[in-house]
Chains A and B, each alone.
Chain A
Amino acid sequence: MSAEAREATRGRILPFTVPWESVPWWAIILAIVGIFVGWSVLTSEAYLDALAFIIDGVSLTLQVTIISYLIALVAGLIFGLMRVSDNPIFYAASTLYVEVMRGVPLLVVILYMGFVVTPRVREATGGQIDLQGVPAAIMGIALSYGAYMAEVYRGGIESIEHGQMEAARSLGMNYMQAMRYVILPQAVRRILPPLGNNLISMLKDSSLISVIALNDLLQTGRLYVSRTYRAFEGYNTVALLYLTMTLILSFAVRIVERKAAIE
């Protein structure tokens, strides 16, 4: 045994070290659980039955989540900029939006969109604009999350030192040019983690749209349970499907963060 090895194993019962640190424990545990669950599912008729029925709900969940997220990203940027603006009207309007949307639970927002806004808008436009169903759900989620995103953007923008804006302005750029070419590129890189986390939160919160009778993953699961009374298999399947989606998204987010950091 080399001198270093002897030093490293001093005091131990067994004469070797195991590199605890470099082993990705969480991945191993997840893999073990995944294999265990996978085997249980594939050998259990009840689970296959549940999976076959419930997996139909995944597509609506993904659709609503992705579209709402894209809208919220844009809405967040716009309201975030308004929140840092000197213009009193922009500031007041955006602060009102942020306070209201952050102050009302998402479930209430969705119910409100579905049962108050949708019929009023339908009436007001003589049936031309019908938000019933998916559009109402997307609007609810996007508006609510947009408020949180606005504050994230604002935090990112404010974290950039004033000297950057001063340098840009002193070169003759106007406010919007300075934002676009100097401030925002730096700010966005800093806020990628919270933006990514919001995507994952949104996926889980999308389960709330079941309350306006949309056939998302949760609703489909509940329907299965109400028909077969197999709550255990039913809800286990629902949970596993949500978990699978969020894990995949987590990976994707981490890859994006890593790419941005390298630059």
Chain B
Amino acid sequence: MRKRTRLLTAAIVLAMFAALGAGCGAPATEAPAEAPTEAPTEVSEEEPTEAPTEEPTEPAAEDEGEAEGLGQVVIGTNAEYPPFEYVDEEGVITGFDVDLMEAIAQEAGFEYEFVNTRWDGIFVALASGEFDAVISAATITEEREEMVDFSDPYFNAGQRIVVQAEETEIEGPEDLAGKRVGVQLGTTGDIWLTDETEAEVVRYDENTLAFQALANGDVDAAVADGPTAVDILQANPEMELEVLPGSYTDEQYGIAVHPDRQDLLQAINQGLAAVEESGQYNEIYDQYFGVE
């Protein structure tokens, strides 16, 4: 390489590392400054279905006059978690959360789009502004609340233990001591197993892999949110697994929102309340969790 090119390259590399290192000293998890709770704007004051509109849009659909402040809401989700969110045979993102979100958005009157992303780091992505909200069967926890805001809870799920049908030894969390237990890395199930049991935690990228490992005998048990566990079993009877009775950890799912978007948070909470009142929530629930 010629002298000048070498020098230039050296300068660029040095600059890159300097930029990288600039953030080194600063702690990454400062609590974001609290957004002042503003008086709600027109967005939430008016009744969605009765507001006069300027554009000739359908009243039940997204009402531009209403949702002025919100714009196109980008919602992140990890569509690998049936029955809450998953990609169906035609490649469409479907599930309980998807249907619920559609109902909420309709009631609140905003437009949105889903972005399918990894679970790992989804809250970090939300906090850094990659999305405006996240709905992904996400349990409301204190640690997460340090980074993002949650809506009112919309689902209560507890962790459940899944074992092979022929399993006789394992009946509860105490029996997991010393056993290999599969779980999805970073989920509340992972944290529960690590902190509350003496199990040897085996962390997979996805629940499906953990359950497959259980069916193959690579692990002695698997742990996942109740509804997810039930759903996987229903879909794969040939795995010959069973869900143990008993639900551990009281887990509320919430919709996570970027702390700077108090307007969106309000809209979602109101939409959620409306959906629950109108009975739509029960409809959607029955559709996915049927007779349980």
Question: Residues on A close to B: CB < 8 A?
Answer: 20-21, 25-26, 29, 32-33, 36-37, 40-41, 43-44, 46-47, 114-115, 118-119, 122, 132-133, 210-213, 215, 219, 222-223, 225-233, 236
With A and B bound together, what is the CA distance between A44 and B27 in angstroms? 9
Tell whether B25 is near chain A: CB-to-CB under 8 Å: yes
A44-B24, A119-B217, A223-B185 given; A213·B190 CB < 8 A: no
The residue of chain B having its C-beta at the shortest distance from the C-beta of A37 within the complex is B21
| Contact residues in B for A233 (Cβ distance below 8 Å) | 28
A44-B25, A47-B24, A213-B203 given; A231·B124 CB < 8 A: yes
With A and B bound together, what is the CA distance between A118 and B213 in angstroms? 10
With A and B bound together, what is the CA distance between A234 and B130 in angstroms? 19
Of B9-17, B75-83, B102-110, B249-257, the one with at least 4 CB within 8 A of chain A: B9-17
Tell whether B165 is near chain A: CB-to-CB under 8 Å: no
The residue of chain B having its C-beta at the shortest distance from the C-beta of A131 within the complex is B218
| Contact residues in B for A41 (Cβ distance below 8 Å) | 24
| Contact residues in B for A236 (Cβ distance below 8 Å) | 20, 24
With A and B bound together, what is the CA distance between A114 and B216 in angstroms? 10
| Contact residues in A for B124 (Cβ distance below 8 Å) | 225, 229, 231
A211-B205, A225-B121 given; A132·B17 CB < 8 A: no
| Contact residues in B for A44 (Cβ distance below 8 Å) | 24-25
With A and B bound together, what is the CA distance between A222 and B203 in angstroms? 10
**Chain B 120-144 interface residues, beta-carbon cutoff 8 Å to A:** 120-121, 123-124, 143-144
B216, A119: Cβ atoms closer than 8 Å: yes
| Contact residues in B for A20 (Cβ distance below 8 Å) | 3, 6-7
A115-B212, A118-B216 given; A213·B204 CB < 8 A: yes
A37, B24: Cβ atoms closer than 8 Å: yes
B25, A32: Cβ atoms closer than 8 Å: no
| Contact residues in A for B185 (Cβ distance below 8 Å) | 219, 222-223, 226
A29-B10, A44-B25, A115-B216 given; A227·B191 CB < 8 A: yes
With A and B bound together, what is the CA distance between A233 and B24 in angstroms? 8
Q: Give min CB distance, A194 to chain B, whole Å.
A: 22
Number of contacting residues on B, CB 8 A? Answer: 40
B10, A213: Cβ atoms closer than 8 Å: no
| Contact residues in B for A219 (Cβ distance below 8 Å) | 185, 203
With A and B bound together, what is the CA distance between A21 and B4 in angstroms? 11
With A and B bound together, what is the CA distance between A211 and B17 in angstroms? 30
SS class, residues of chain A in contact with chain B: helix
Q: Give min CB distance, A155 to chain B, whole Å.
A: 27
| Contact residues in A for B10 (Cβ distance below 8 Å) | 25-26, 29
Tell whether B202 is near chain A: CB-to-CB under 8 Å: yes
| Contact residues in B for A29 (Cβ distance below 8 Å) | 10, 13-14, 17
**Selected contact of B23 from candidates A25, A212, A226, A232, CB within 8 Å:** A232
Tell whether B186 is near chain A: CB-to-CB under 8 Å: yes
Tell whether B147 is near chain A: CB-to-CB under 8 Å: yes
Tell whether B158 is near chain A: CB-to-CB under 8 Å: no
B24, A222: Cβ atoms closer than 8 Å: no
With A and B bound together, what is the CA distance between A119 and B29 in angstroms? 43
A-B contact pairs, 23 of them (CB 8 A): A21-B3, A26-B10, A29-B17, A33-B21, A40-B24, A41-B24, A44-B24, A46-B27, A114-B218, A115-B212, A211-B205, A213-B203, A213-B204, A213-B210, A219-B203, A223-B186, A223-B203, A226-B120, A226-B190, A227-B186, A229-B143, A229-B144, A229-B147
Q: Give min CB distance, A214 to chain B, whole Å.
A: 9
Q: Give min CB distance, A220 to chain B, whole Å.
A: 10
Q: Give min CB distance, B147 to chain A, whole Å.
A: 6
The list of the 3 closest CB pairs from A to B, nearest first, reads A226-B186, A119-B216, A40-B24
The residue of chain A having its C-beta at the shortest distance from the C-beta of B121 within the complex is A231
16 A-B pairs besides A46-B27, A225-B120, A226-B186 with CB distance below 8 A are A25-B6, A25-B10, A115-B212, A212-B209, A213-B182, A213-B203, A213-B204, A213-B213, A219-B203, A223-B203, A225-B121, A225-B124, A226-B185, A229-B146, A236-B20, A236-B24
A119, B28: Cβ atoms closer than 8 Å: no
Against A, the Cβ 8 Å flags (1 = close, 0 = not) of B159-170 are 000000000000
Against A, the Cβ 8 Å flags (1 = close, 0 = not) of B201-242 are 011110001101100111000000000000000000000000
With A and B bound together, what is the CA distance between A232 and B27 in angstroms? 9
Q: Give min CB distance, A1 to chain B, whole Å.
A: 22
The residue of chain A having its C-beta at the shortest distance from the C-beta of B147 within the complex is A229
A36, B17: Cβ atoms closer than 8 Å: yes
Against A, the Cβ 8 Å flags (1 = close, 0 = not) of B26-53 are 0111000000000000000000000000
